[in-house]
Amino acid sequence: MFRTILLCLALMSPLGRASAKPPALMHATLLSSEPAAKATLTTPPTRIRLVFSEEVEPSLGRIRLVAPDGHVMTLKSAGDPHDVSALIAPITLPLAPGAYRVEWRIVSEDGHPIDGAYPFTVAPSGVSAQPAPSAANGPMAGAAPSGGTATPAPAPQREAAESDTATSGGGTTLAEVPKVPAVLRALAIGALAAFAGLLGFLATRRTTAPQPRAARLVHRLAIATAILVPLHLIAWALAVSPDHSLGGDTIAAVLASGPGKVELARTVLALLAAWGLLLVRRERLALWIAVVAILAGSATGHSAAIHPEWGIPGRALHLLAIAAWLGGLLWLVTLDRSDASGTITEAQRVSSLALVAVIVVTFSGVVQTRLFLPVWGDLLHSQYGLIVLAKVAGVFVLVLFGAYHRFRVLPRLSDAVVAEHFPVSLRREIAVMSLLVLLGGLLAYLSPPTH
């Protein structure tokens, strides 16, 4: 089994990529635009052209133009046949003089929607043409406007334009995180991890006593997995679709994207794992499929976009360790304790595996945090970092639970009083772990800071 997991990790890791992305381009970033940000044009532009730092899916992109009077024009955007990283949207109506705002939306390589906006101005006729100041445009300073020559705006217009800061693909803040997809992602991953973990202990148990409670729970987890994973796929597709609807063309475009293929693969594998247990009744077959589903899920999200040659294997190990840890806790809670010697044997086995899981979760979590955060100071100065610190605190609480069980409970597990209170302590540990899984779902939709 261990060799198979290593082989799966090796196949999933995109080793063909020679190097990781530079820290400044960890996410989809607007590199240049026509018209340029904060430019003033003597001639109205006839199109909007946006060039990003990575390939975009044109059918999932959206470009809108906000007029000076607040009227919003949704432009018909399409891919640039000469550049897979560009979106083009023609402007069919002539633009009157005034300050305009371009609002765009794409789906990043990590499967998350990215929004951005920037202003430009159409000057009245007769204004002399001069180059637009480049200092305010950042990465877009070198872009030439398509509708005319860039000139400084008159003082009142320039102040209005510069007060509206240009953005080049800012990350999602905590307030902007889509709550329903984030919660469904956490529940889906938690159900899949619990299903695989408990099924692993049930299929490899050393005790010969029947375990009806564990069997009932693993069947319920299989049903939950078969429901929650597809629900997350639907919620994610709604979140990334341009108009938040799922028409035929939109579904095809979402599933044809890189993140869409991974989400679909995880959904199919989760359904097959549930089918293997509930209908075929082959525990080991269902276990292997569930493990592959967990591995497939590690190839999406931040891990797929930020240093994927390290992020994807690290994420896979992280999820597998969580599955083993959570499955062990559920196994002990549902274990038939009528066989005292068998209970002690299983508890010792779970304790040993949990110790390994703690080490793997901690190490892989530190590695992923360093990959996703450009500097350690972001732990204190970003929303992403603060939630990571909350997860660290939760892991510390779980370590205290584990130490208590290993050094205080297990040596006295033959005592009837201790054995009676053991499941209560385990349920509290499961509650803390469930909270950490929910925080993980939130982090998956929250953008790490970039510099």
Tokens 């779902």 correspond to 441
CB 131 within 8 A of CB 150: yes
Q: Which pLDDT belongs to residue 357?
A: 94
Q: Residue 78: beta bridge partners? A: 88
Q: Residue 113: beta bridge partners? A: 107
User: Residues with Cβ < 8 Å from 241, sequence gap 6 or more?
Assistant: 60, 250, 254
Q: Which pLDDT belongs to residue 81?
A: 85
Nearest to 167 by CA among 106, 112, 119, 132: 119
pTM: 0.78
Could you say which residues of the chain have pLDDT below 70? 1-27, 126-172, 417-418, 450-451
Q: Which pLDDT belongs to residue 133?
A: 47
Q: Which pLDDT belongs to residue 139?
A: 42
* d(C-alpha 436, C-alpha 388), whole Å: 10
The string of pLDDT tens digits covering residues 215-256 is 999 999 999 999 999 999 999 988 888 777 777 777 888 888
Q: Which pLDDT belongs to residue 142?
A: 35
The string of pLDDT tens digits covering residues 159-206 is 333 334 444 445 567 777 888 999 999 999 999 999 999 999 998 887
Q: Which pLDDT belongs to residue 78?
A: 87
How many angstroms separate the Cα of 258 from the Cα of each of 13, 40, 360, 385?
14, 37, 28, 27
* d(C-alpha 183, C-alpha 196), whole Å: 20
Tokens 């002690």 correspond to 344
